[in-house]
């Protein structure tokens, strides 16, 4: 059992666990940041997507230890001042149905817009593919990303 120093959503925090404790459970169960979701635990769904130093990672496949000293951003920290453009677009398009996958979708999309502010449709599909949504909100995910890119 060890303690790791992380910066999560701009805050210095400590989490404990074995060296392989996934970041997913550290942020959810130790830090109470429950917007990040468990869907498969195997890197197959994207519900657990967070940013580590600006890169979207699957937190179920990322150890808390490996994030030590790095900047972790979860859905709760995405909009530094109020809502992120993507969140506004997600609301405007009413993208969420059950909503369970959507934190991961938004975090994945945020990485795309940070790199490619004006993605075309293929770029959106390619980037977002593999973030699963069982409710079938995919058409609105694409529309929300297009809207956020337009309305910034």
Number of residues that bind ligand FES (CB under 6 A): 23
Q: Under the criterion CB under 8 A, does residue 119 sit at the interface with other proteins?
A: no
Question: Closer CB to other proteins, residue 28 or residue 51?
Answer: 28
Q: Under the criterion CB under 8 A, does residue 103 sit at the interface with other proteins?
A: yes
What is the rounded CA–CA span in Å between residue 112 and residue 72?
A: 17
What is the rounded CA–CA span in Å between residue 14 and residue 69?
A: 11
Q: Under the criterion CB under 6 A, does residue 97 sit at the interface with ligand FES?
A: yes
Q: Of these, 11, 118, 134, 150, which contacts other proteins (CB under 8 A)? A: 134
Question: Closer CB to ligand FES, residue 39 or residue 119?
Answer: 39
Q: Of these, 99, 111, 123, 143, which contacts ligand FES (CB under 6 A)? A: 99
Where in the chain does DSSP place strands (E)? 2-8, 11-17, 49-52, 55-58, 71-73
Q: Under the criterion CB under 6 A, does residue 102 sit at the interface with ligand FES?
A: yes
């Amino acid at each position: 059992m060890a303690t790791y120093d992380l910066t999560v959503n701009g805050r210095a925090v400590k989490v404990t666990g074995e060296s392989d404790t996934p970041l997913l459970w550290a942020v959810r169960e130790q830090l109470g940041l429950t917007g990040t979701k468990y869907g498969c635990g195997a890197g197959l769904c994207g519900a657990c997507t967070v940013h580590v130093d600006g890169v979207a990672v699957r937190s179920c496949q990322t150890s808390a230890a490996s994030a030590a000293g790095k900047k972790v951003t979860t859905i709760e920290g995405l909009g530094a001042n109020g809502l992120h453009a993507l969140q506004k677009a997600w609301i405007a398009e009413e993208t969420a149905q059950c909503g369970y996958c959507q934190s991961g979708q938004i975090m994945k999309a945020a990485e795309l817009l940070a790199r490619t502010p004006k993605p075309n449709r293929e770029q959106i599909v390619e980037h977002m593919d593999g973030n699963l949504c069982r409710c079938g909100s995919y058409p609105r995910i694409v529309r929300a990303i297009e809207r956020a890119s337009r309305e910034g």
